[in-house]
Structure 1
Amino acid sequence: MSHSTLAQIAKVDFKPAPKLVDNQLNPHALVAKYAVRGRIPTMAEQLKGTLQSDPDALPFDKIISANIGNPQQLDQKPITFYRQVLALIEYPDLLKNDYVNKIFPHDAIDRANEIMENLVSVGAYSHSKGVLYFRQTVARYIEDRDDHPADPEDIYLTAGASSAVNYLLSLLSNGPQTGFLIPIPQYPLYTASLALNDAKVLPYYLKEEENWSVEASEISEVIKKAKTEGISPRAIVLINPGNPTGSILTEETIAEILNVAAEHGIVVIADEVYQENVYEGEFISVKKVLRDLQKLDSTKYENLQLASLHSTSKGMIGECGQRGGYMELIGFDQSVLSQILKLASISLCPPVIGQALVSLMVNPPHESHPSHGPFRSEKLGIFNALKERSHKLYLAFNKMEGVSCQEPQGAMYCFPQLTLSKKVKAAAADSGMAPDEFYCAKLLENTGVCTVPGSGFGQVPGTWHLRTTFLAPGTEWIDNWAKFHENFMNEYRD
């Protein structure tokens, strides 16, 4: 098109229409909230910009992003073996070059060759469930973990666990009369997704004073109450190990909850993305408990529907940006499975490089291979550092005035309770914030530590919490937090 023609078009006389504003948008999107990237993290990004333009402008020299479980943002190094294999399959011409034998161990080369024998390219679409070879690897891992068979056809590779959650909640939601039992506190992906789908949150509260335990009898009461109000309970979410609490469900508790689910025909969504982050106790999958129960009484549990989720973003891997994950679906009717596959097909396929990483996560270097020693050392180093910092942060919180914290058994977080004065609550109200959000804002402004207020996860009314990761290296930031807290409590003392 010539410039003169464009000029003629621009001369056409019309009155421009106004821009869209938020009240014209999907009302369900407007009420959805996701505090992990909410107001406090937004403030942190602004302060980060201030530090970049003037490093001396603030009383700290860096932002510590303790608001989100994003390990490599906080200096956790990638596992070498994983990155070696990924590098080779991203640029497979390296596999044809003899020089590669001088810089990569032979088991990384062998694994990359094996992967490339089972796909055309990481740049090509795969099956919507994911590459069969990768799903077969996941099935073997689940069999070894649970001592029960697993079928690759029951496994869907996903773009992280979050996309699996979105598939399940969007499909299971059927309007505001559909209820989902969500633990409180919870990971806000669930309440945000349910808001988008105009479904009902049915909270069941974890017992903080008993290390965030859950009672199956209380879940039964939530279900019965919902039914009397005309709400159909559709699914229950179990987050194990817990986010944000760090608690671990016992085998007995899982079995009791499965009894309730089987009795009421409720789908169980087992969010198990932190299953490798276990510092005290033992992780037992919901799938294993279900299969053990079915061996005892197949009829009673034959209709129980279970979706189990895992991810490459957590554990000792921390490859959040690679977007790798999987879900295993057990007991669903074929008509429902067809709909889930349709949803997966709409997105064509999950990232193939993320699929490959899932296969590496569930099939690490063998003991006889050269990468095993370095791999084990790297993974154990990350694990021990997380365990040590979790304990130090727990001890630090319980030394602070007006703070109590349950020691995390797993995951990446502490969720301490704050006892805040009337003066804090008044100052928070004047600032247009909840008291816990006000505390988090002051903490950020004075130390650079970015956390998330407990109100973003849900909490017993009248209590105040915050969630922090213990991913940041070192302990200086914990000491700075303790100093801030002492000054804060003195400033806002009634």
Structure 2
Amino acid sequence: MGLARMAHRRSTLCSLSRCLTQPGLWSRGFASLPDPIGEEQGPINSKDGKVLHPELLNTNFVNAEYAVRGELYLKGEELRKQGKEIIFTNVGNPHALGQKPRTFNRQVMSLVTCPTLLDHPKVGELFPADVIARAKQCSTYFNGGLGAYTDSRGSEGVRKEVAAYIEKRDGYPSSPDQIFLTDGASPAVRYMLNAIIRNDKDGILVPVPQYPLYSASIQLLGGKLLGYYLREDSNWSMDIPSVKRQVAQARSEGIAVRGLVFINPGNPTGQCLSYDNLKDIIQFCQEEEIVLMADEVYQTNIYQDERPFVSCKKVMMDMGEPYSKHELLSFHTVSKGALGECGLRGGYVETTNIHPGTVDQIYKIASINLSPNTTGQLGMALMVNPPEEGSESYEQWKQEESSVMESLRRRAQIMTDGFNACEGVSCTFTEGAMYSFPRLDLPQKAVQAAKQAGKSPDTFYCLKLLEDTGILTVPGSGFGQEEGTLHLRTTILPMEEKIKEVMSLFQNFHKKFMDEYR
């Protein structure tokens, strides 16, 4: 060390020693140490004695919104606590509205959850033989039982069953190594968005209307949401020219368009995309080098035979190269379909044509959570691999499955017809998923009343509906809607004996509302 540097170091140490021996320094804390660079203050760390003061939180955290459980939901909870009956049609939560779980699935889960039952001498009297066999098989997927961690991607045995399900559905190979099990589809979506979004110049194309998981997650991650409008006049189909315009506009502003989300069947719109529509989406994303994010969680919720569900992966593989080599992320869950097991929190993402190095990075991030919950993984195994035809439990399972789906089809028709019978309301038929998204043409007087109340017109309407009838819906503004239009979203999930009453309540309220503000 040179003499000059040694002298400077001794001088610095002496200065520090003098500072540390100043009276009262320790009681004042390290903030009293002189700033060697200057007296500039850093960011404010606390306010009113609170580090986590609302004004000092991450702005992306504060600005994120989730309308499905927003203002209307909080108001509904308030009214419920006051004793009012609330009909929660704001969220796709089938069991909360009376749907029963599948007998076979819950029997298997009972045995896997409590494995000592498998050794009980009377287990054969309590459970069908195929339930016992399936429980024994599923138990081998969880080393140490459901109370132990699995691989961070999820149990290999479950992932193999998911891969077999995808192969059977599409007719193309699927690898368990490209599948990540997650606590519902929502965490899988967030994983992928986190990987894609690098900064506020990275954009994600999202349909409008959209499920607010996407807008909230993109906001939290600091990315740019790029909305493209679905065409309501053609049953909410995708409009590729609209997507192209959005991409061109974004790139002119220096935004890197990294991913395109589509929801099929649609939420909140209930449409099923056609095979040709999917081909157009795939071709566009391949040409523009945009990752496809296929939200297919409602793939078994189909109510119109003319428009069946077709997976994005199948269409992409049917198209051949170069399209069959395109990057695709596909999501599914146990929360929807005839199962409706929302509380189990079981989901997956299949990573098709994703770079192996990126898959390794996703694995690393999944490892931070150690493992997805095991009950949700078991629920996924039972969803993708139900009882075989001819087995002891098959007929009951089939009857329960068909009963739910046929009822949902009837409920979709009841809701559509009911809305369309109202003055100033129009609603496309719910081809799939669990929702109706009727359009409202409200009187100008109601629009002015909403403005005076500091509410958007659709929020104003939905609040009045909630207070008058107890029906909890979500205003269309929570999902995004074309300028000058108003909507609301409601599920079609109230049981059949209840849904006619719900529609009657709605119609009576709507007539009264229109008369009041005419």
TM-score (norm 2): 0.89
Asked whether the 8 Å contact 2:316–2:324 carries over to 1, the reply is: no
Residue of structure 2 in register with 1:83 after alignment? 106
Give the one of 4, 16, 26 matched to 2:58.
26
The separation in 1 between residues aligned to 2:482 and 2:233, in whole angstroms, is 12
Q: How far apart are residue 302 of structure 1 and its match?
A: 5.6
The separation in 1 between residues aligned to 2:324 and 2:508, in whole angstroms, is 56
Is residue 2:337 matched to residue 1:315?
yes
Q: How far apart are residue 220 of structure 1 and its match?
A: 2.1
Residue of structure 2 in register with 1:263 after alignment? 287
User: 1:147-158 residue pairs with structure 2 within 5 A?
Assistant: 147-158=171-182
Q: How far apart are residue 215 of structure 1 and its match?
A: 2.2
User: 1:166-177 residue pairs with structure 2 within 5 A?
Assistant: 166-177=190-201
**Greater Cα shift, 468-477 or 33-42:** 468-477
User: 1:347-362 residue pairs with structure 2 within 5 A?
Assistant: 347-362=369-384
Residue of structure 2 in register with 1:162 after alignment? 186
Q: How far apart are residue 290 of structure 1 and its match?
A: 0.9
1:446 is paired with a residue whose SS is helix
Residue of structure 2 in register with 1:369 after alignment? 391
- 1:390-442 Cα distance to aligned partner (Å, 9 max, x none): 10110010110100111110000000010111211121122221100011001
Is residue 2:154 matched to residue 1:130?
yes
The separation in 1 between residues aligned to 2:268 and 2:324, in whole angstroms, is 32
- 1:172-229 Cα distance to aligned partner (Å, 9 max, x none): 1011110100000000000000000111111110000110011223322221221111
Residue of structure 1 in register with 2:33 after alignment? none
- 1:106-152 Cα distance to aligned partner (Å, 9 max, x none): 11110000111232211100001110110110111111100111111
User: 1:288-437 residue pairs with structure 2 within 5 A?
Assistant: 288-294=314-320, 298=321, 300-301=322-323, 303-437=325-459
Q: How far apart are residue 17 of structure 1 and its match?
A: 6.4
Asked whether the 8 Å contact 1:265–1:303 carries over to 2, the reply is: no
Residue of structure 1 in register with 2:310 after alignment? 284
The separation in 2 between residues aligned to 1:118 and 1:336, in whole angstroms, is 26
Q: Aligned partner of 1:270: which letter?
A: A
Residue of structure 2 in register with 1:68 after alignment? 91
- 1:317-351 Cα distance to aligned partner (Å, 9 max, x none): 01000000111001111221111111111111111
User: 1:173-322 residue pairs with structure 2 within 5 A?
Assistant: 173-280=197-304, 281-294=307-320, 298=321, 300-301=322-323, 303-322=325-344
Is residue 2:120 matched to residue 1:97?
yes
The separation in 2 between residues aligned to 1:490 and 1:364, in whole angstroms, is 52
Q: How far apart are residue 443 of structure 1 and its match?
A: 0.5
Q: Which has the larger radius of gyration?
A: 2
Provide runs of 4+ in structure 1 moved above 3 Å: none
Residue of structure 2 in register with 1:444 after alignment? 466
Asked whether the 8 Å contact 1:184–1:206 carries over to 2, the reply is: yes
The separation in 2 between residues aligned to 1:219 and 1:35, in whole angstroms, is 24
The separation in 2 between residues aligned to 1:40 and 1:332, in whole angstroms, is 40
Residue of structure 2 in register with 1:143 after alignment? 167
- 1:300-327 Cα distance to aligned partner (Å, 9 max, x none): 2365100000000000001000000111
Q: Aligned partner of 2:59: which letter?
A: P
Residue of structure 1 in register with 2:3 after alignment? none
**Structure 1: stretches of 5+ with no match in the other structure:** 1-11, 52-57
1:176 is paired with a residue whose SS is coil
1:237 is paired with a residue whose SS is strand
The separation in 2 between residues aligned to 1:208 and 1:463, in whole angstroms, is 11
1:181 is paired with a residue whose SS is strand
How well do the aligned residues superpose, as a CA RMSD in angstroms? 1.5
The separation in 1 between residues aligned to 2:361 and 2:449, in whole angstroms, is 50
Once the two structures are aligned, what percentage of the paired residues are identical?
A: 45
The separation in 2 between residues aligned to 1:432 and 1:99, in whole angstroms, is 65
The separation in 1 between residues aligned to 2:300 and 2:114, in whole angstroms, is 30
Is residue 2:458 matched to residue 1:456?
no
Q: Aligned partner of 1:479: which letter?
A: S
Residue of structure 1 in register with 2:11 after alignment? none
Q: How far apart are residue 39 of structure 1 and its match?
A: 0.3
The separation in 2 between residues aligned to 1:17 and 1:399, in whole angstroms, is 55
The separation in 2 between residues aligned to 1:331 and 1:149, in whole angstroms, is 12
Q: Aligned partner of 1:70: which letter?
A: N
**Greater Cα shift, 63-72 or 341-350:** 341-350
Asked whether the 8 Å contact 1:309–1:328 carries over to 2, the reply is: yes
Q: Aligned partner of 1:308: which letter?
A: S
- 1:145-177 Cα distance to aligned partner (Å, 9 max, x none): 001111111111111000001101111101111
Q: Aligned partner of 1:34: which letter?
A: Y
Asked whether the 8 Å contact 2:302–2:308 carries over to 1, the reply is: yes
TM-score (norm 1): 0.93
Q: Aligned partner of 1:47: which letter?
A: L
1:464 is paired with a residue whose SS is coil
1:308 is paired with a residue whose SS is strand
Is residue 2:106 matched to residue 1:35?
no
1:467 is paired with a residue whose SS is strand
